[in-house]
Structure 1
């Protein structure tokens, strides 16, 4: 996971202001640089969870090798003890129909990251970025307008 986080950090190194938005496996990747407190980071948005209702969609569109690699990286990464180092406004977007991960995953993030906010998207599962793009985009936009743009003024 750290090599993914390193690659992401290198991509944004020349930016003065940016927001990291990570969904599913990407949420883990975004969290890696966020705990390092990079100077240009203004906010963090993470979403995910794995719902049974979207399991087939995920399996149909994720090659087995990719799934295995991501699972191995995700299981090896543990940022729990460093969550308190995230010092930017953080939004956690959670699907309401999360049958496999459970509420505890979002709770750990919400309580570990100072000031983190959670939005639960009703009647959504893991792939809500694809199945409910307008709802997902509205949650991100509202957060950015209310938390990030407001803080920049």
Structure 2
């Protein structure tokens, strides 16, 4: 079975580096890129054009929106969905304002990746001072660059709670217990809205689950894949 791993906002394929060895027994791993498009739909269409014939989609944060869109576009190709630290909600007013201010700041000056404050807000509070982790998060944004930042920041995340019921593939929702960007309630909404979905919680981790708790995250994914119908 093939896995297609989808990163989140201003993250690249290195997001999954610490999980690669653990996930290898599940089958070939393919990486989707969100760096080139300015809508969720276009990202999903690019993913499908580049993905193998049949696969399990693993979407982190913004990548969860892309994963669900791809599953709606090509349900016959998607064997299952894993939705990590994500949501079915539209951007809140607070999130929209924060993105607008970030865009204005980059348009007016130099882009050096996500700010340290933004990176620190995405991890468990106890790891906000972990310089190596923060710089690893910022380095992904630096590699993606200014134009990808502007495209992703301008992108509108439209809520799809009213369309979750149409998803027919097996789904695992994974939440982080100390996520300051996405709440447990948002994961529960996904679980309850997608027919037959199950949910797991990695209690002692923040939003950046693939970096903060790669072993626990991989274990949940592998156990769930092992129970998928042939």
Which TM-score bucket, shorter chain as reference? 0.7 to 0.9
Residue 10 of structure 1 corresponds to: 49
Contact 2:75-2:169 within 8 A present in 1 as well? no
CA shift, 1:93, in A, is 0.8
Q: What SS class does the counterpart of residue 119 from structure 1 fall into?
A: strand
Q: Aligned pair 1:90/2:127, yes or no?
A: no
The number of aligned residues is: 146
**TM-score, normalised by the number of residues in structure 2:** 0.56
Contact 1:91-1:143 within 8 A present in 2 as well? yes
Higher-Rg structure is: 2
Residue 70 of structure 1 corresponds to: 152
For residues 1-153 of structure 1, what are the structure 2 equivalents within 5 Å? 1-12=40-51, 15=53, 17-49=54-86, 50-51=122-123, 53=125, 57=134, 60-61=138-139, 62-63=141-142, 65=146, 66-73=148-155, 75-146=156-227, 148=228, 151-152=229-230
**TM-score, normalised by the number of residues in structure 1:** 0.81
Compared with structure 1, are the counterparts of its residues 39 and 71 closer, same or farther at alpha carbon in structure 2 (3 Å cutoff)? same
Contact 2:72-2:167 within 8 A present in 1 as well? yes
Instruction: Structure 2 unaligned segments of length 5 or more: list them.
Output: 1-39, 87-121
Deviations 1:60-111 (A, max 9, x none): 33348444533432x3332222111110110011101012322231122111
